[in-house]
Amino acid sequence: MSLWLVMFAAGLLTFAIRLSFIALEGRYQPPSWFVAWLPFVPIAALTALVTPDLLLVAGELRLGLDNARLWAGLVAIGVAAWRKNVLLTIGGGFAALWAIQLSG
């Protein structure tokens, strides 16, 4: 029974975090430095989400040729910069990943 309580409490807390600034908007005037941050949020947050996946293997920094995800990720960054297309980027990244995995 307590598992359900934990689930509902964790769900409520998660919801409250996601709602936080959406609910506050219009009720207070955020400081100007905070507003200046906002355009950079997607870059800062999404990059932080990606780099550990590319550079770490089981928590260890791995920059060698054997880290397939690092090189496949770099290929994807190249494709994304070149064509700015989501499907091409995913396709290029997977092609590189599988090629490295098969050859390794």
Site of interaction with another protein (CB under 8 A) = 2-11, 13-15, 17-26, 33-34, 36-56, 59, 61, 69, 72-73, 76-77, 80-81, 84-87, 89-90, 93-94, 97-98, 101
CB atoms closer than 10 angstroms to residue 89: 19
Whichever of 39 and 64 has its CB closer to another protein, that residue is 39
Instruction: Give the nearest distance from C-beta 77 to another protein in angstroms.
Output: 6
Instruction: Give the nearest distance from C-beta 89 to another protein in angstroms.
Output: 4
Q: Quick check: 64 and 44 in contact, CB under 8 A?
A: no
Q: Quick check: 58 and 75 in contact, CB under 8 A?
A: no
What are the DSSP calls for 33-102, one per residue?
Answer: HHHHHGGGHHHHHHHHHHHHHHHEETTEE--STT-HHHHHHHHHHHHHHHH--HHHHHHHHHHHHHHHHH
Instruction: Give the nearest distance from C-beta 64 to another protein in angstroms.
Output: 15
Whichever of 37 and 66 has its CB closer to another protein, that residue is 37
Instruction: Give the nearest distance from C-beta 84 to another protein in angstroms.
Output: 4
